[in-house]
């Protein structure tokens, strides 16, 4: 199975910087094509056209959007709709990222409405879930994952399921340099796998589950070797071409 390696560029990079990073990555990927990897890059909205242009013709790379507002249109100043993303040729979006949940106030219900609208609109969705350190230490990991998944994935079927990816990102490991250990990742991914199958049925067994949280060139290969880890969602280490390329090749 192809592993998915996704880059979340968050609110980093000006247009020239994004263009240069994407062009360098394109050159390096063309030089050494990897048939067992699929790359997804989530740049900021303003950098999407430049990054798309840099990867034009490279079918192993998809450019996605980090965010959108769950309404067709309306008085939502500063927001961007799914139709506006479609205009740009975007069909992959991210939902539920912990920074949007915890810094920008998105609730489980709001994440669910975004996920449902995007899937209904034919988009591919990477749904992020994960627990805080306090939730983990209180022994609530399974409950938190279950509640986030049950709210976001009610009654999904067939085609929508084939466009869903789940990213397990323990919040205490995002941008902190603390990576979850192999035992923690194994246990959480097994839990996510069985929860998804319980919520959406057996068809859910094929849904890719990515790990995210301080992934670096030095731990990527270990993480990719674990059961139920179908890929990686990378923040900080995806901003630098060489480190992201090492993770892609890990």
Q: Which one is catalytic: 53, 97, 131, 189? A: 97
Q: How far is the CB of 233 from ligand PEP (least distance, A)?
A: 5
Strand ranges inside the chain, DSSP E: 3-8, 37-42, 61-63, 92-95, 124-129, 164-168, 209-212, 231-234
As given in the structure block, the two tokens for residue 179 are 């990576």
Is 191 labeled as catalytic in the residue annotation?
Answer: no
To ligand PEP, the closest distance from the beta carbon of 65 in angstroms equals 14
- How near is the Cβ of 170 to ligand PEP at its closest, in Å? 9
CB nearer to ligand PEP: pick between 217 and 236: 236
To ligand PEP, the closest distance from the beta carbon of 152 in angstroms equals 17
Cα–Cα distance for residue pair 77/194, rounded to 1 Å: 40
Complex with ligand PEP: residue 81 or 189, whichever CB lies closer:
189
To the query of whether residue 169 is one of the catalytic residues in this protein, the response is yes
Between 70 and 130, CB nearer to ligand PEP: 130
The answer to whether 232 and 212 have CB atoms below 8 angstroms apart is yes
- Choose the catalytic residue: 99, 106, 131, 169: 169
Q: Which residues contact 248 (CB under 8 A, 6 or more apart)?
A: 5, 29, 34, 37, 39
Task: Provide the pairing of β-strand 164-168 with 92-95.
Answer: unpaired
Q: Give the pair of three-digit tokens for residue 181.
A: 């250990």
Please enumerate in sequence order all residues whose Cβ is within 8 A of that of 160, keeping only pairs 6 or more positions apart, or say none: 119, 120
Closer Cβ to ligand PEP, 223 or 233, answer by number:
233
Residue facing ligand PEP at closest CB distance: 235
For the chain, the distance separating the N- and C-terminal CA atoms, rounded to the nearest angstrom, is 15
Q: Which residues have C-beta within 8 Å of that of residue 174, sequence separation ≥ 6?
A: 98, 99, 130, 212, 213, 214, 235
Which residues make up the interface to ligand PEP (CB under 6 A)? 8, 169, 174-175, 212-215, 233-237
Q: How far is the CB of 199 from ligand PEP (least distance, A)?
A: 23
Q: Report the residue number, 41 or 200, with the smaller CB distance to ligand PEP.
A: 41
Residues forming the active site: 97, 169
């Amino acid at each position: 199975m192809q592993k998915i390696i996704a880059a979340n560029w968050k609110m980093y990079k000006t247009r020239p910087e994004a263009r240069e990073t994407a062009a360098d990555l394109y050159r390096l990927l063309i030089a050494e094509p990897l048939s067992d990897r699929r790359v997804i890059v989530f740049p900021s909205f303003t950098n999407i056209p430049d990054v798309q242009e840099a990867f034009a013709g490279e079918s192993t790379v998809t450019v996605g959007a980090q965010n959108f507002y769950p309404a067709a249109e309306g008085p939502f100043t500063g927001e961007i709709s799914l139709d506006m993303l479609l205009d740009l040729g975007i069909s992959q979006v991210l939902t539920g990222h912990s920074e949007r949940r915890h810094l920008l106030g998105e609730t489980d219900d709001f994440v669910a409405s975004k996920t449902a609208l995007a899937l209904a609109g034919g988009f591919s969705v990477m749904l992020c879930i994960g627990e805080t350190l306090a939730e983990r230490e209180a022994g609530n990991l399974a409950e938190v994952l279950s509640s986030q998944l049950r709210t976001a994935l009610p009654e999904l079927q067939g085609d929508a399921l084939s466009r869903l990816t789940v990213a397990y990102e323990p919040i205490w490991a995002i941008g902190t340099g603390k990576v979850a250990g192999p035992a923690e990742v194994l246990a959480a991914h097994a839990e996510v796998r069985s929860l998804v199958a319980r919520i959406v049925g057996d068809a859910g067994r094929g849904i890719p589950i990515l790990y995210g949280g301080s992934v670096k060139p030095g731990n990527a290969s270990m993480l990719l070797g674990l059961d139920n880890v179908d890929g990686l969602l990378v923040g900080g280490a995806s901003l630098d071409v060489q480190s992201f390329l090492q993770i892609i090749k890990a």
